[in-house]
Amino acid sequence: MAQNSFGIMAKVEEKKADSEIQIVEFMLGKDLFAIELYDIKEVIPFAPTTPLPNTPSYIIGIINLRGEITTVIDLKQLLQMQSENTHNENACFIVLDPAFTKRPVGILVDEVLAVSTYTDSDIDRRGGSGGDDTGDHIIGIIKKKTKEGDKERTDLIIWIHIRDIMRQIHLS
């Protein structure tokens, strides 16, 4: 409570600061995606995988990551996106935090671009499903403003809920 110029106590409304999120931005094909930074253990370069028989088509196989057998998932295939079965020189694995996957799991992406911080005002949560029954597990759409010379543009980043996706396929 604060006192105004008339000596009357008045409740002062303070604007709440936007909360911040940190995400890792990556490419799947020509589209920008993001997952929360705290859901990631590390990013490693692409390496050949050993295929596993009788597994879903989105499981590429396994790799030996410093003595740990790590399951590798093709995120494009899992999200039912168009995919050429070739990997560019920027392809890499995002190894997920084993605290929620319960075992070593990596996801194949075409390129990791950046770790970025955004505020709630940068996110359109109506643009995604919010993890509802539609099954697409989109938390929201992040509006990323960039400048190219004199022109400003806004790129859209699809922010996915990787924990929900891993629960859906029973890898967490």
pLDDT-flagged residues of the chain (< 70):
1-18, 83-87, 127-136, 171-172
Q: Which pLDDT belongs to residue 85?
A: 60
Cβ contact 116:25 at 8 Å: yes
Residue 146 lies in a domain: yes
Residue 30 sits in which domain range? 20-168
In total, the chain counts a number of residues equal to: 172
Token pair 């359109």 is found at: 124
Cβ contact 13:101 at 8 Å: no
Pairing status of strand 151-160 against strand 31-36? parallel
Residue 136 lies in a domain: yes
Residue 8 lies in a domain: no
pLDDT in tens, 71-84: 999 999 999 887 66
- Please count the structural domains in the chain: 1
φ and ψ at residue 165, rounded to 5 degrees: -60, -45
Residue 6 lies in a domain: no
Q: Which pLDDT belongs to residue 111?
A: 96
Residue 11 lies in a domain: no
CATH number at residue 98: 2.40.50.180
Residue 158 lies in a domain: yes
Residue 109 lies in a domain: yes
